[in-house]
């Protein structure tokens, strides 16, 4: 396999733009707007260049590159701490219980409350894999490489990590949730609001969104049915998050009602199970139909970070790696790699 995860650079903007056009809407972190994407890459360059090992308002952007062809076939992002420039809004689905003595009945009403509870969390997002590459574990490679980066730069990230999953979008590109809730107050359809948010941020939500809770019983059935539901294309991503230890704690996206998953950063499975080991041999006897285990491997700091699949075998005093894996990661005997089992 010739694919690696690496830091994105400013000359990747066209690659990101071409992928953004394929997302089909509702993908706030990857807008089909060259100016916005360029701004993201410039912000990421500053984050990769920052030497202070402390948390800040950073954005890290990565790409999946096929080293055999030079093509960029996927991307992902990490926001070190959300809610710094603009408030980070979510809806929280809660229950209000009331009892009538006269009627001798108890009523429970679900409601959506606008909240900024998740401010200060790290966010993993912006994951997109080209449709032609959705096999061979590449989606897992992109997703899990972020956790190894977080682990190896732990002081730069929060104690809690979130992931927003895209909600249900209809065939016309609209959102039943937006139409039933926020769209009533903004005078714009879902696509217009989503594009505006991706480019300008969501301060307009603070300016125009009603601050009072919304009783779900007052929403149309089409909106109620999609609260906390991922887009069909996001169900596999939700399963991956659950395997990493993320949970849904009743937070939903304010635009499309998709679920926001959360986990304690140090309890994310890939963070918790990863190990650092020194390379003691580069062994051509490792590989498919040979010996060794195929693991997710990372090496390098900040802009030099690389992640790829490779074949490993524990040896006395360290670990052996196959030649292709060593070449992809640019490692030699004596280097220390971070590795975690593939599952």
CATH of the domain spanning 274-341 = 2.40.40.20
Mean of pLDDT values over 221-242: 92
Adjacent-strand bridge partners of 170: none
- pLDDT confidence bin for 209, thresholds 50/70/90: confident
Q: Known catalytic residues?
A: 231
The residues, any chain, with a CB within 8 Å of residue 96's CB and separated by 6 or more, are 108, 109, 111, 213
* Residue 27 pLDDT greater than 90, yes or no: no
Nearest to 119 by CA among 155, 164, 88: 88
- pLDDT confidence bin for 202, thresholds 50/70/90: low
Q: Which fold has domain 3-91+114-270?
A: Aminopeptidase (3.40.630)
Least confident of 23-37, 51-65, 307-321: 23-37
Torsion-angle region of residue 24: left (phi > 0), alpha (psi -120 to 50) or beta? Answer: left
User: What's the token pair of residue 334?
Assistant: 């004596």
How much is the pLDDT for 124? 97
- Dihedral (Cα; 46, 129, 78, 237), 10-degree rounding: 180
* pLDDT, tens digit (0-9, with 9 covering 90-100), for 287-315: 887 888 999 999 999 999 999 999 999 99
Q: Characterize 146-164 residue by residue with b for buried, 16 or more Cβ atoms within 10 angstroms of its Cβ, and e for exposed.
A: bbbbbbbbeebbbebbbbb
| Domain-wise residue ranges, the chain | 3-91+114-270, 274-341
Q: Characterize 294-320 residue by residue with b for buried, 16 or more Cβ atoms within 10 angstroms of its Cβ, and e for exposed.
A: bbbbbbbebeebbbbbbbbbeeeebbb
* Residue 233 pLDDT greater than 70, yes or no: yes
* pLDDT, tens digit (0-9, with 9 covering 90-100), for 89-130: 899 999 989 888 888 899 899 999 999 999 999 999 999 999
Counted residue by residue, the chain has a size of: 343
Q: From residue 91, how far is each of 111, 156, 275, 280 by CA, in Å?
A: 9, 27, 37, 51
* pLDDT, tens digit (0-9, with 9 covering 90-100), for 258-285: 999 999 999 999 999 999 999 999 999 9
* pLDDT, tens digit (0-9, with 9 covering 90-100), for 124-176: 999 999 988 877 889 999 999 999 999 999 999 999 999 999 899 888 888 99
Q: From residue 171, how far is each of 5, 175, 176, 231, 295 by CA, in Å?
A: 32, 9, 11, 12, 39
* Residue 25 pLDDT greater than 70, yes or no: no
Nearest to 47 by CA among 202, 147, 203, 157: 157
- Exposed, middle or buried, 186 (CB in 10 Å: 0-12/13-18/19+)? middle
Q: Where are the alpha helices (DSSP H) in the chain?
A: 13-20, 34-49, 138-152, 176-180, 183-186, 190-200, 203-208, 221-224, 235-244, 269-273, 323-329
How much is the pLDDT for 26? 60
* pLDDT, tens digit (0-9, with 9 covering 90-100), for 174-186: 899 999 988 888 8
- pLDDT confidence bin for 196, thresholds 50/70/90: confident
How much is the pLDDT for 23? 79
How much is the pLDDT for 212? 87
How much is the pLDDT for 200? 72
Q: Where are the alpha helices (DSSP H) in 50-182?
A: 138-152, 176-180
Model confidence, pTM: 0.92
Task: Return d(Cα 301, Cα 211) in angstroms, integer.
Answer: 43
How much is the pLDDT for 87? 83
Task: Return d(Cα 160, Cα 147) in angstroms, integer.
Answer: 12
Average pLDDT along the chain: 92
How much is the pLDDT for 206? 65
């Amino acid at each position: 396999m010739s694919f690696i995860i690496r830091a994105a650079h400013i000359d990747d903007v066209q690659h990101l733009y071409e992928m953004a056009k394929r997302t089909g809407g509702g993908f706030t972190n990857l807008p089909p707007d060259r100016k916005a994407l360029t701004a993201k890459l410039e912000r990421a360059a500053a984050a990769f260049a920052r030497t202070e090992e402390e948390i800040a308002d950073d954005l890290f952007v990565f790409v999946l590159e096929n080293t055999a062809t030079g093509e960029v076939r996927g991307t992902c992002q990490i926001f070190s701490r959300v809610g710094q420039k603009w408030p980070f809004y979510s809806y929280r689905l809660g229950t209000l219980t009331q009892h009538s003595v006269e009627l001798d009945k108890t009523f429970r009403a679900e409601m959506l409350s606008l909240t900024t509870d998740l401010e200060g969390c790290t966010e993993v997002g912006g994951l997109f894999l080209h449709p032609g590459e959705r096999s061979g574990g590449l989606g897992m490679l992109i997703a899990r490489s972020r956790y190894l980066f977080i682990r190896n730069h732990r002081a730069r990230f929060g104690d809690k990590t979130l992931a927003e999953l895209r909600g249900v979008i209809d065939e016309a590109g609209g959102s039943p949730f937006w139409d039933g809730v926020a769209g009533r107050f903004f005078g714009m359809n879902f696509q217009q609001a989503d594009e505006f948010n991706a480019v300008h941020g969501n301060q307009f939500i603070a300016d125009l969104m009603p601050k009072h809770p919304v009783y779900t019983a007052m929403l149309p059935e089409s909106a109620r049915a999609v609260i906390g539901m991922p887009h069909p294309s996001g169900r596999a991503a939700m399963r991956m998050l659950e395997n990493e230890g993320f949970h849904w704690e009743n937070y939903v996206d304010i635009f499309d009602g998709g679920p926001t998953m959360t986990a304690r950063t140090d309890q994310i499975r890939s963070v918790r199970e990863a190990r650092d080991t020194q390379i003691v041999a580069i062994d051509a006897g490792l590989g498919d139909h040979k010996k060794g285990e195929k693991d997710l491997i990372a090496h390098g700091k900040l802009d030099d970070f690389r992640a790829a699949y490779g074949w490993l075998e524990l040896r006395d005093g360290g670990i052996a790696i196959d030649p292709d894996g060593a070449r992809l990661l640019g490692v030699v005997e004596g280097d220390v790699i971070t590795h975690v089992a593939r599952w």
